[in-house]
Amino acid sequence: MRVIVVGSGAGGATVARELQSNGFEVSILEAGSPFKPFTRNISWSEPLRRWGLLGGEGNFRHLFPHMNMLRSSADLLLVRGLTTGGSTVLSCGNIVRTHRGLGEIGLDLTPEFQELEDKIHPKPFPQERWRPLTSKMYHVSLEMGLKPQPTPKAVDPHLCVSCGLCEVGCHRGARWDSRRFLSEATNQGATLHTNCKVEKVILEKDTVKGVEINQQGKKKSLKADLVVLSAGGIGTPQILKNSGLKVENRLWADIVLTLGGVVPRARQLEEPPMVWFTEHENYILSPYLDILSHFFHKPWRKVSVKDRVGLMVKLADTEKGAVYEDGTVEKDITPHDNECFDEAVSLAKEIMMGAGVSEPLVNGMYNGGHLGGTVPLKKGDVSLMKPSWLPDGLWVADLSLVPRSQGMPTILLTAALALKVAREIIRQYEKI
């Protein structure tokens, strides 16, 4: 049975690996080019950055074309990976169980979480390699009763050189990303096609027949018995809408705001980001030097990266937004989001000041890189792991299925969803 998997991130790679190993003939279509990590030392850019000569964040694509950025409003920048490995190659490598809103629809991913953890082997990064200020903020959080916990990471400390640039690709191969699952799939016979953008699904009498693609300017149709969309919270609904299917307008992004401070020679970049976190009702706090804010946020411009200190707020935002047929996105920060940010930033200030970071503390730029909720599962959908309105033979396996924002790392959640979807596909079609 021929299957087209659209996307090669945590969702697509997991589905492809599972289906190919169970006798399906899998083709993986990735819109981006093969991934190449950023290998330059960022110190060369410091003079240009301080004088504002790097321009806006749109210029980042010239330095790092795999990182796709788009403004969904004047205040919010959305980021995703368009390359082999999707957004996993641009991640901090955090492997954390998160299930906000899943209990409400009756979805339990515990077996899938465990299976993937046994495969990836996440562990906290050794505390003796944390920067001193990071350790100090951790202990302040502990004294405040915030119960900070070291973050389980898919990072091999023996290979990691503590460059702090996880989000522009690990050139040492220390951090796990979904290309490892892709390799397993292709080694078993799956085919991977890059620079291959799927524009829509081909349907006949409410049954999938394949996809229409644009590969380097050439359009053509590819036949398949099944199609699995794992193109992410923007790509998946865009394809569905272009296929004439009605997708409700909603989107969450786990919006990030980093509170920036200054401590001479803090050198926070010389450790992996987010080595610990505190969990709250609507957000987490975690040490994080926000590269986007460092490069492009004017209030952060005059401070050297060696002296910059950041404490991140990652918010479970309101699921309000829209993705359109042309790929444009409309999403803003709601009044409720702002209320939650005010609470979180106040707590972050208390932690930073308690650790010796002096005022003024300055907010970074709002950005979101966990994009989901655009094709949400309902309670009645969970038994088949598929929204009931999707045509026969068409599946979704990415964060689009998750109804609510998480405010947490989501790689493990995405892979677990995809694994459960793949197992359901196998159950339904293994005898055909």
Distance CA 390, CA 382 (A): 13
Closest to 400 (Cα-Cα) out of 409, 391, 410, 186? 410
The answer for residues whose C-beta is within 8 angstroms of residue 423's C-beta and 6 or more apart is 18
DSSP-assigned beta bridge partners for residue 139: none
What pLDDT digit, counting tens, does each position of 237-292 carry?
999 999 999 999 999 999 999 999 999 999 999 999 999 999 999 999 999 999 88
At residue 429, the 3 state secondary structure works out as helix
Token duo for residue 214: 């644009």
Q: Does the structure show a pLDDT above 90 at 216?
A: no
pLDDT attached to residue 296 = 84
Question: CA–CA distance from 105 to each of 70, 378, 388, 401 (Å)?
Answer: 31, 6, 14, 11
- Tell me the pLDDT band of 427, cut-offs 50, 70 and 90: very high
Q: Does the structure show a pLDDT above 80 at 293?
A: yes
Distance CA 30, CA 115 (A): 26
Token duo for residue 422: 């793949």
Query: Which residue do the tokens 């610990």 mark?
Result: 276
| Percent of the chain predicted with pLDDT > 70 | 94
At residue 414, the 3 state secondary structure works out as helix
Closest to 234 (Cα-Cα) out of 121, 370, 351, 126? 370
Question: CB of 411 within 8 A of CB of 167?
Answer: no
What pLDDT digit, counting tens, does each position of 151-206 carry?
999 999 999 999 988 988 898 999 999 999 999 999 999 999 999 999 999 999 99
Q: Does the structure show a pLDDT above 80 at 83?
A: yes
pLDDT attached to residue 54 = 63
Distance CA 250, CA 70 (A): 17
Question: CA–CA distance from 425 to each of 216, 382, 397 (Å)?
Answer: 31, 13, 11
> What mean pLDDT is reported for the chain?
94
pLDDT attached to residue 61 = 67
pLDDT attached to residue 64 = 74
Span of 35-49, 101-115, 364-378 with lowest mean pLDDT: 35-49
Distance CA 404, CA 16 (A): 25
DSSP 231-265: SHHHHHHHHHHHTT-------B---EEEEEEE-TT
DSSP-assigned beta bridge partners for residue 222: 211
Query: Which residue do the tokens 């998946």 mark?
Result: 236
Q: Does the structure show a pLDDT above 60 at 393?
A: yes
Distance CA 319, CA 328 (A): 17
pLDDT attached to residue 432 = 60
- Tell me the pLDDT band of 67, cut-offs 50, 70 and 90: confident
pLDDT attached to residue 46 = 65
- Tell me the pLDDT band of 52, cut-offs 50, 70 and 90: low
DSSP-assigned beta bridge partners for residue 309: 261
Question: CB of 37 within 8 A of CB of 170?
Answer: yes
- Tell me the pLDDT band of 295, cut-offs 50, 70 and 90: confident
pLDDT attached to residue 38 = 72
What pLDDT digit, counting tens, does each position of 7-24 carry?
999 999 999 999 999 999
User: Dmax of the chain from CA atoms?
Assistant: 66
